[in-house]
Structure 1
């Protein structure tokens, strides 16, 4: 039985015990194992990258979102995992990699990164604007966090519309 990520809540309401494999790794062996599991079980494989791992400047892996997506696609071909089972996710996308900079500069970088993730086909987008930037308290007030997250959500929606991809969630 093939299970899409959007089917999981309904299946849970029906009493079925089912989940979605979710990995947050850039290591090819980990990704291959997750893709193999998806192929063998016919279930969705959620593969996520964090803003520090992968971003428009390369992150600590040296990969941009499009590089990461291409790597996952190549590994899926090797593992014979149907691409329709794969959901790419961006985890904790926000200003964190640039939080040592002034807020506007960090948020500009975060917006460029979110745009790159969505244009590369990532559809599970976890926005995180909870951290303070240079000169701000470490923990921000709810209004500032919400305002920054809404700003990034707008970037994600615009990128999806312009690139013709599905809306991020």
Structure 2
């Protein structure tokens, strides 16, 4: 959607889509924040279960840490806090798929709780990946 059209829709108070940036790299987050500032739009930044979780993920951050990290960058370029949103993407047992499903799902539930408590408002649950002892492809019934 062009910037002109997006601004027109915003001026008319019509709904328009919002893009999500799924990155923990400070340059990417800063660029997205600057774009949102220039466009006058909201900024939705997401983290995946592998990036951010109660064990630190590969970024070393828990959900509250990630929220602070992104918030500081966005605030630094002038994005108003009311235009900043956080999402958890593909939250499920994936980081613990080497464990059995019961243990992996317990950890996934703790992770989702931490995301919610940290103020993430877009939560994408994903239990589609097999864990230790599961068949390679899970049935729709098991995933649901």
TM-score, normalised to structure 1's length?
Answer: 0.75
1:55 shift after superposition: 0.5
Q: Please give the alpha-carbon distance, in whole angstroms, between the structure 1 residues aligned to 2:105 and 2:63.
A: 18
Provide the aligned C-alpha RMSD in A: 1.6
Q: How many residues align?
A: 135
Q: Report the counterpart of residue 149 of structure 1 in structure 2.
A: none
1:63 shift after superposition: 0.4
Q: Report the counterpart of residue 84 of structure 1 in structure 2.
A: 82
Q: Please give the alpha-carbon distance, in whole angstroms, between the structure 2 residues aligned to 1:116 and 1:125.
A: 11
Find out whether 1:27 has 2:56 as its counterpart. no
TM-score, normalised to structure 2's length?
Answer: 0.88
Q: Which runs of 5+ in 1 are unaligned?
A: 12-17, 147-169
Q: Report the counterpart of residue 115 of structure 2 in structure 1.
A: 117
Q: Which runs of 5+ in 2 are unaligned?
A: 1-6
1:70 shift after superposition: 0.4
Q: Please give the alpha-carbon distance, in whole angstroms, between the structure 1 residues aligned to 2:83 and 2:29.
A: 13
* 1:21–1:34 CA contact under 8 A, matched in 2: no
Q: Report the counterpart of residue 99 of structure 1 in structure 2.
A: 97
Q: Please give the alpha-carbon distance, in whole angstroms, between the structure 2 residues aligned to 1:36 and 1:50.
A: 22
1:19 shift after superposition: 3.6
